[in-house]
Amino acid sequence: MRNKIKSLLKKRKAIMLAHNYQPPEIQDLADLCGDSLELSIKASQTDAEVILFCGVSFMAETASVLSPHKTVLLPRKDAGCPMADMVTSEELKAKLAELPPMPVVTYVNSSAAVKALSTICCTSANALDIVNSLDEKELIMVPDRNLALNTASRTDKKIHIWDGYCPIHNDLTPEDVIIAKREHPDAVFMAHPECPPYIIDMADVALSTSGMIRYAMESKSRSFIVGTEIGLLYPLQKANPDKFFYPASLNMECSDMKKITLEDVVRSLEFMEGEVKVPEDIQRPALKAVQRMIDLSQQLGSGLKVQGSRLKGD
Ligand code: 13P
Ligand code: SF4
């Protein structure tokens, strides 16, 4: 199966991108595994003809927005993101009509249609930098209320908060963290900014998924409690074979991120199945918001090679 995928990737002049939460066998085959920011940057820079995206639908849509002349394949069309579904373009338009004019900062975990209504996008690696880069003192962040609250507590800007959330991160409880800390008293607790503020308050650092991998590599600590989707344990352990990683809760599993199998990848490449194409009237305005984020991130140095901005540092 692996050899077949490798030769199909060559035949299609395709690049395979995988999010850090994807199953190990998918990550092992990918040309690049990363967090949302790294994958967006790669999707904007590749000269491959086909982008095979192993992640969820908003990620493949973002790749199509950034590379409209390339074919983007999502091997499972039903791999979605419940948080992204918590805001539609109609709902956002209605909300904006109620508010005075202000910038819209949209988390990449959103549809292309919502991005098209936005001033600028952000990821968990650059949210604070993006918000602070704006001239305006007041803005709205969609759709993740936890990312917005965690950003609001670290800036003097007034942030209007959309009431969306990631069910996987939102359900992590203080009790889960207390138990994990009791079992591993010397471990550093790393939490994802999609977790609620009361979890971030209990954390030593709040980082994107790739930020956690780099942090663990650079840290002198040998053990870590991981407050994000459990798929991240695989790349964490791979990059740090001598260190120890413990999930903050075994319930933190995103079923959408586990849908793509090697068989799906073969089928998608063989029959060019699962194409994701964003219509031009949405692609153009969405591109402005995503490209603005990428340009600013690279300017600020929170791109591929560095840690990413921390919402909470040690
Ligand atoms: P990052 O990898 O950008 O931290 O995103 C986490 C996530 O929930 C993606 O769905
Ligand atoms: Fe969406 Fe959360 Fe799954 Fe990421 S982990 S795809 S934010 S539901």
The predicted pLDDT at position 305 comes to: 35
State the Cα–Cα distance between residues 35 and 295, nearest whole angstrom. 17
Give bridge partners of residue 17 from the DSSP assignment.
Answer: 32, 53
- For the domain with range 173-248, which CATH number is right: 3.90.550.10, 3.40.630.10, 3.20.20.60, 3.40.50.10800? 3.40.50.10800
Strands 138-142 and 104-107: parallel
Residues near ligand 2 (Cβ within 6 A): 56, 81-83, 109, 166-168, 229, 254, 256-257
- What is the DSSP code string of 229-260? -GGGHHHHHHH-TTSEEEES-TT---GGGG--
Q: Taking 90 as the threshold, does the pLDDT of residue 280 lie above it?
A: yes
State the Cα–Cα distance between residues 130 and 126, nearest whole angstrom. 6
- Using the mean position of ligand 1's atoms as its centre, give its distance from the Cα of residue 208 in Å: 6
Element (H, E) at 227: strand 223-227
Averaged pLDDT of the chain: 94
Give bridge partners of residue 205 from the DSSP assignment.
Answer: 190
Confidence band for 10, pLDDT divided at 50, 70 and 90: very high
Q: Taking 90 as the threshold, does the pLDDT of residue 100 lie above it?
A: yes
Q: What is the CATH number of domain 82-166+279-314?
A: 3.40.50.10800
Atom of ligand 2 nearest to the CA of 168: 2
The predicted pLDDT at position 44 comes to: 83
Average pLDDT over residues 45-60: 95
The better pLDDT of the pair 244, 306 is held by: 244
The predicted pLDDT at position 304 comes to: 36
209 CB near ligand 1 (under 6 Å): yes
Average pLDDT over residues 270-298: 95
Atom of ligand 1 nearest to the CA of 193: 4
173-248 matches 2-79+258-277 in CATH topology? yes
% residues pLDDT > 70 (the chain): 96
57, 276 contact by CB (below 8 A): yes
Q: Taking 50 as the threshold, does the pLDDT of residue 64 lie above it?
A: yes
**DSSP code, position 34:** E
The predicted pLDDT at position 311 comes to: 58
Confidence band for 38, pLDDT divided at 50, 70 and 90: confident
Average pLDDT over residues 137-146: 98
The predicted pLDDT at position 306 comes to: 33
Atom of ligand 2 nearest to the CA of 80: 6
Among the bound ligands, name the one nearest to the CA of residue 167: 2
Distance linking the first and last C-alpha atoms of the chain:
43
Domain ranges of the chain: 2-79+258-277, 82-166+279-314, 173-248
pLDDT tens digits along 142-172? 999 999 999 999 999 999 999 999 999 999 9
The predicted pLDDT at position 314 comes to: 41
User: Domain 2-79+258-277: what homologous superfamily?
Assistant: NadA-like (3.40.50.10800)
State the Cα–Cα distance between residues 170 and 252, nearest whole angstrom. 9
